[in-house]
Structure 1
Amino acid sequence: MPEVIFNGPAGRIEGRYQPAAVRNAPIAMILHPHPEFGGTMNNQVAYRLFYMFKERGFAVLRFNFRGVGRSQGQFDHGSGELSDAASALDWVQSIHPEARFCWVAGFDFGAWIGMQLLMRRPEIEGFISIAPPANLNDFSFLAPCPSSGLIIHGDIDKVVPQKDVQALVDKLKAQKGIVIDHKIIEGANHFFDQKIDELIDHCGRYLDMRLAAQPSEG
């Protein structure tokens, strides 16, 4: 799993990149939790998501937002971090140009950034949004949400109450042309303590279902 450094809008961005074995394999981007509350690309959920996509043959990148780890710059309340994510996707596409499609998976703050990236980049065909902070951040930009995906969270999350995520899910499910899968993990808090295996299992099954539905290339 090579360490990588690439240029972003605020300077260098530090990441970890797993190349794909197949030249037209899809890309996955993993976005970490809130930088001001200890979120990094080495967060256990982000780390496990990285390997979940790797095991399915994706070219995978996880990276530190500006001001985290060895990434330059300072926290920018979402605007700069969205630019970081766009630059990161540009970087992966520059070294893996024949990718058939892209997925984005984010946890907490990373889920909010990932959903915004989804609106800007039509090549993103699917998303996994873990504990999206619907009570803390505005998700009204998803009008309409351009891709189908999975929203998953815990039922004892004290940071992002279940009712707020449910309201977001209900709003998205009312939109035509996409399918939102919604999973609540019983007994899981915001950080999925003791529940990360179950979380990743659900995400993996969802991803496998979506990949099986992809048209095969002749």
Structure 2
Amino acid sequence: MIGRPASTLIDGPAGHIEVVVEEPAAKPLGLAVVAHPNPQMGGTMDNKVVHTICRAFVLAGWRAVRFNFRGVGRSEGEWDEGRGETMDLLAVVGHHLSDPDMVGHPLALAGFSFGGAMAAQACARLTEVAALRPGVVAPSELVLISPAVSRFDVPVVPQHTLIVEGEQDDVVPLTHILDWARPQGLPVTVVPGTGHFFHGQLPRLREIVLRHLRGVAE
């Protein structure tokens, strides 16, 4: 993608994982790892919604890391129906949290569509492990944009999770998001008149995420 930082390769469970790291203007407040939509439908880390989420985190002062799931771009391996992809996300988190600059800093997970489902699964996994193993960092923030709740297993998420959905989403319909969120008592931010990919509404999406993150920091 023109204008983005060059990607690098890190070790993952299925081979190399391709990542892009974007830094804020000052010392990072924390680490944000952002997951992309379904690779089987052309999803990559250069998706415009993923880029928008990353920009919001960077503007809010976070180090933003996006990556290609296995089998996408320069990432090695093959599609694993969400199982191995969750492990890819956890490997990216582990690699970047090992940076001395990130010690003691909060972790945020985010994702769009399929990536939202993977971020929620990884959040649940890390939260469970952190309760049993001192030193493991549980995510303090979770941002889900049109998470694929009707296509993949999306677990219960923390009450402070930011969930954003397009009113006219025909990939993950709003009714499915509400049916998933309702039993948990989760609020859902709905962007009127937009579909799954937020065409023409990306600046608004960025501001919703940025406003949420700045509110957390206050």
Q: Residues 27 and 99 of structure 1 are in contact (CA less than 8 Å); yes or no, is this contact kept in structure 2? A: no
- Give the counterpart of 2:18 among 14, 17, 31: 14
Unaligned runs of 5+ in 1: 174-179, 213-218
**1:196 maps onto 2:202 in alignment:** yes
1:104 aligns with 2:109: yes
Which residue of structure 2 aligns with residue 209 of structure 1? 215
- Cα distance in 1 for partners of 2:187, 2:9 equals 34
Instruction: For residue 85 of structure 2, give the secondary structure of its aligned residue in structure 1.
Output: helix
* TM-score, normalised relative to structure 1: 0.87
Question: Which residue among 165, 179, 192 is the counterpart of 1:167?
Answer: 179
Shift of 1:22: 2.5
2:188 maps to: 182
Structure 2 counterpart of 1:201, one-letter code: E
Residue 82 of structure 1 deviates from its aligned partner by 0.3
Structure having greater relative contact order (Cα 8 Å, sep ≥ 6): 2
Give aligned-pair identity as a percent. 30
Counterpart of 2:152 in structure 1 is 137
Measure, in 2, the Cα distance between the counterparts of 1:133 and 1:73: 22
Letter in 1 for 2:151: L
Deviation at 1:163, TM superposition (A): 0.8
Residue segments in structure 2 that go unaligned for 5+ positions in a row: 128-137
Report the counterpart of residue 51 of structure 2 in structure 1.
47
2:42 aligned with 1:38: yes
Instruction: Please give the alpha-carbon distance, in whole angstroms, between the structure 2 residues aligned to 1:44 and 1:8.
Output: 24
Deviation, 1:115, is 0.2
Q: Is the 8 A contact 1:124 1:147 kept in 2?
A: no
Higher alpha-carbon deviation: 47-56 or 77-86: 47-56
Q: What is the deviation of 1:138?
A: 2.3
Query: Cα deviation per residue 1:59-95 (whole Å; 9 max; x = unaligned)?
Result: 2110000000000001110000000000000011112
Q: Is the 8 A contact 2:30 2:102 kept in 1?
A: no
Q: What amino acid is aligned across from residue 188 of structure 2 in structure 1?
A: H
CA distance in 1, matches of 2:216, 2:187: 11
Query: Structure 2: which amino acid aligns with 1:89?
Result: V
Partner of 1:125: 140
**Counterpart Cα distance in 2 of 1:99 and 1:74:** 34
Residue 32 of structure 2 aligns to a residue in which SS?
A: strand
Could you tell me which of 137, 142, 149 is aligned with 2:161? Answer: 149
